[in-house]
Structure 1
Amino acid sequence: MRGSLVVAGLWVRPLAESATRAGWRVVALDLFGDADTWRACARWERIGDPAAFAIAPGLLRGALERASREPGVLGWVAGSGFEGMPEALDQRIAGLPLLGMAGEAMRRVRAPASFFGKLDRLGLEHPAIAFQSPADPAGWLAKDAGASGGWHIRAAEDDARTTGVYWQRFQPGVPMSVLFLADGAHARVVALNRLLVRPLGDAPFVYHGAIGPVRDAVLARRMEAILALLVPVFGLRGLASLDFIAHGQHAWLLEVNPRPSATMVLHDAAWPAGLVDAHVRAVQGWLPPGPPAHAGGVRGNLIVFADRACRVGAALAADLARSTHCHDLPVAGATFAPGEPVCSVSACGSDQDAVVRELDARAAGVRARLAQEEELAA
């Protein structure tokens, strides 16, 4: 056993599982406390309300202070949810250093004026942006740089926000990301991924999942060249991702997520000790000497969102737990409002589109079981 490691974020199951496989005793801090997160950690605490989908600063601080007293604790790794609260990354917890990007670095890379200004100076393409509402909003999106998951993105003509957002020209193409490790000066690409971005309720561009690795040598080389410029400019360290829109081998850059992203769930076997181990080493200045190892075919993960108010009974919870392709497992008795994530499903195969079809079929099966439970309870 390597001592303890703390992982914190909106949802930390992939971080907890990867750290456990690498030999750490894991303390997991998130909003959901899924059954498989519990299995992967020695201790779990809730740090926010799942319905609000936000980390509560006071709960986070208290949980980190308690975690600092864990035996042999190395530090804490921040996952998703800190984009809008970078000050949480600057807090000092005695005996518990942050193993990742500090708050000031998060601000630089996430602030639209800073990020897109740097892209312009480096000659890197991105969709046109504006910091005032366009006179003609058709073809523009309103986005919040402090949010994640796509919930905040709206068509500008349907959005009444005038503060806390910036505007970006809609760019047709395939939503993609490159998952990478960085040591502050250099990057190592983990994988290219196709992002599954779909409508959910009144939000038209919500992240539902990902497929990868996408094997495109030309696009991979393009991303390596881009990261060679971005990593030293922003001092990126650890596991992170760069989102972009692809059309053929052409790429329009959207944003950097300077922390482990959800796509890591597809690629933890890229190096023998896993991606959390690689993240910690990269933060400390060491990158893997060789390329990542990917098995044949592609893997996919899809979030199953509730399409109605529902409750997971004991039988369904047990069935989901026995499934090899269901993850982020709800406990018996858990209830969900429409649009809330119930669980996720995975699939693998030789073809991207076939994997997407299998993911959709498995998600539909979960929703059908939820509907049956509601009918039985009525």
Structure 2
Amino acid sequence: MLAVAALSARAIVDAAALDGLRTVALDLFGDVDTRRRAHEWRCIGDAATLRIDDDRLLAALDALARRGEVRGWIAGSGFDGRADLLERGAACLPLVGTAPEDVRRVRDPQAFFDLLRSHGIGHPATAFEPPLSTAGWLCKDAGGSGGWQVRRAQAGDPPAAGCYWQRERSGVPMSATLVCNGRDAVLLGFNRQLTQAIGERPHVFRGVIGPLPVSDRVQRELTAIARLLAGVFRVRGLASLDFLLDGDTVEVLELNPRPPASLSLYPRVGDGGPLRAHLRACEQGELPSAPAAGGLVRGVAIVFAPHELGVDAACAARIEGCDGTHDLPQPGTRVAAGDPLCSLDAEGRDEADTTRQLAQRRAALQATLETRT
């Protein structure tokens, strides 16, 4: 049995279930489908805070370690910039993934961008002191995730640990889904990141579509970059490399050393699923073969509540009854306007087909949210 800890553990729990792996889900939401797929669920924080509670996490891991039937735990979203918490958790129960000291290195923006510069790898102009003029600059927090850590720079922004400034660039936001063994990496595919502006946050993550084709030149360049970074930072297991793509020009943004949201786009990896590949890479150093090109294009999209919503039993049933819904809220949940409500998935022949299906499913879901009983 495995433990999975994250802000929301549902996607990793689903991936584990595809591989016949039993899980204990540790997250903030306890969504209907998370509890349905996991062997058991434990709360590790208040959903309203969007932050994992140190004491709850460590108590849960300690209790699982004393039971003796859980082989280790996988850290998902919510641990970016929290290597100390990973370290403390790993002292309770073995961490199956990138070691905390290596997470600390790869999430250090100065070390990361210095390495890119030393190898001539393209990236947006980056500064660690406030620019004289903030026009065209973003302010980023290396400890955040999901685009919530990115905002437009403002005059008077003070320097702070983990914060840096980066030029806003044109280009399509993309990611590469990786499996790494601490020395090398295999690319599973390339994905388009879907983002939207929410308040002062111009690039909030709202979904991902892939695998998508790229040119041979881009594929060669990103394969070389991923293999280099996986070895230098000793990344282990599933990970993602975020970048901007403008024609054939690549600019690297960050490397996330944990199972990414895009793992749902890759239900088959080698002779199993993505979680089986993660375990083999972490525990045996075994990497899967690179997948063949082609096949279905899948998409995952977050649905944000259009207005404040009280999810009663009837509303929860309507949400679950819509095609492709996941991360299903429990009856009794209250969701503020603009907060994540659930997610959708779809698959199609190509990116346009998948995008169209996601839009249709979103429209159908939004129509049900206006239904009154």
Q: With the length of structure 1 as denominator, give the TM-score of the two structures.
A: 0.93
Aligned-residue offset at 1:47? 0.8
Q: Which amino acid aligns with 1:252?
A: E
C-alpha distance in 1 between matches for 2:321 and 2:370: 20
Match for residue 51 of structure 2?
Answer: 54
Q: Out of 40, 45, 51, which is 2:42 matched to?
A: 45
Match for residue 96 of structure 2?
Answer: 99
Match for residue 151 of structure 1?
Answer: 148
Query: Once the two structures are aligned, what percentage of the paired residues are identical?
Result: 43
C-alpha distance in 1 between matches for 2:86 and 2:344: 31
Q: 1:158 to 1:213 in 2, by over 3 A?
A: farther
C-alpha distance in 2 between matches for 1:369 and 1:289: 42
Say if 2:361 is the partner of 1:368. no
Match for residue 269 of structure 1?
Answer: 268
Match for residue 32 of structure 2?
Answer: 35
Structure 2: gaps spanning 5 or more residues: none
What SS does the corresponding residue of 1:68 show, helix, strand or coil? helix
C-alpha distance in 2 between matches for 1:294 and 1:322: 33
Which whole-Å deviations, capped at 9, do the CAs of 1:73-97 have from their partners, x for residues lacking one? 2100001111121111111566720
C-alpha distance in 2 between matches for 1:249 and 1:186: 24
Q: Which amino acid aligns with 1:187?
A: A
C-alpha distance in 1 between matches for 2:303 and 2:200: 17
What SS does the corresponding residue of 1:82 show, helix, strand or coil? coil
C-alpha distance in 1 between matches for 2:35 and 2:155: 41
What SS does the corresponding residue of 2:66 show, helix, strand or coil? coil
Aligned-residue offset at 1:158? 7.4
Match for residue 316 of structure 1?
Answer: 315
Aligned-residue offset at 1:366? 2.1
Say if 2:116 is the partner of 1:119. yes
The 8 Å contact of residues 269 and 294 in structure 1, kept in 2 or not, is answered as no
C-alpha distance in 2 between matches for 1:108 and 1:36: 35
Aligned-residue offset at 1:324? 4.1
C-alpha distance in 1 between matches for 2:68 and 2:317: 33
Structure 1: gaps spanning 5 or more residues: none
Match for residue 205 of structure 1?
Answer: 203
Say if 2:17 is the partner of 1:11. no
Q: Which amino acid aligns with 1:188?
A: V
The 8 Å contact of residues 209 and 298 in structure 2, kept in 1 or not, is answered as yes
C-alpha distance in 1 between matches for 2:289 and 2:40: 34
What SS does the corresponding residue of 1:63 show, helix, strand or coil? helix
Q: In terms of mean alpha carbon deviation, does 142-151 or 305-314 score higher? A: 305-314
C-alpha distance in 1 between matches for 2:141 and 2:289: 37
What SS does the corresponding residue of 1:332 show, helix, strand or coil? coil
Aligned-residue offset at 1:157? 3.5
Match for residue 63 of structure 1?
Answer: 60
The 8 Å contact of residues 61 and 89 in structure 2, kept in 1 or not, is answered as no
What SS does the corresponding residue of 1:100 show, helix, strand or coil? coil
The 8 Å contact of residues 268 and 274 in structure 1, kept in 2 or not, is answered as yes
What SS does the corresponding residue of 1:268 show, helix, strand or coil? coil
The 8 Å contact of residues 201 and 339 in structure 1, kept in 2 or not, is answered as no
C-alpha distance in 2 between matches for 1:94 and 1:122: 35
Aligned-residue offset at 1:316? 2.9
C-alpha distance in 1 between matches for 2:155 and 2:206: 22
Aligned-residue offset at 1:162? 4.1
Q: In terms of mean alpha carbon deviation, does 200-209 or 282-291 score higher? A: 282-291
Q: 1:222 to 1:44 in 2, by over 3 A?
A: same
C-alpha distance in 2 between matches for 1:86 and 1:182: 19
Q: 1:172 to 1:301 in 2, by over 3 A?
A: same
C-alpha distance in 1 between matches for 2:156 and 2:327: 32
C-alpha distance in 1 between matches for 2:214 and 2:36: 36
Query: Mapping of 1:342-361 within 5 angstroms?
Result: 342-361=341-360
What SS does the corresponding residue of 1:192 show, helix, strand or coil? strand
C-alpha distance in 1 between matches for 2:354 and 2:361: 11
Q: 1:93 to 1:199 in 2, by over 3 A?
A: closer
Aligned-residue offset at 1:217? 4.4
User: Could you say what the CA RMSD is over the residues aligned between the two structures, in angstroms?
Assistant: 1.9
Say if 2:171 is the partner of 1:173. yes
Q: Tell me the matched-pair count.
A: 371
Which whole-Å deviations, capped at 9, do the CAs of 1:129-167 have from their partners, x for residues lacking one? 011111011111000000000012111137845424210
Match for residue 214 of structure 1?
Answer: 212
Q: 1:68 to 1:39 in 2, by over 3 A?
A: same
The 8 Å contact of residues 144 and 152 in structure 1, kept in 2 or not, is answered as yes
The 8 Å contact of residues 173 and 194 in structure 2, kept in 1 or not, is answered as yes
Aligned-residue offset at 1:348? 1.5
C-alpha distance in 2 between matches for 1:321 and 1:362: 12
Match for residue 328 of structure 2?
Answer: 329
Match for residue 338 of structure 1?
Answer: 337
Q: Which amino acid aligns with 1:145?
A: A
Say if 2:135 is the partner of 1:138. yes
Match for residue 306 of structure 1?
Answer: 305
What SS does the corresponding residue of 1:163 show, helix, strand or coil? coil
What SS does the corresponding residue of 2:291 show, helix, strand or coil? coil
The 8 Å contact of residues 322 and 364 in structure 2, kept in 1 or not, is answered as no
C-alpha distance in 1 between matches for 2:89 and 2:364: 46
C-alpha distance in 2 between matches for 1:57 and 1:95: 12
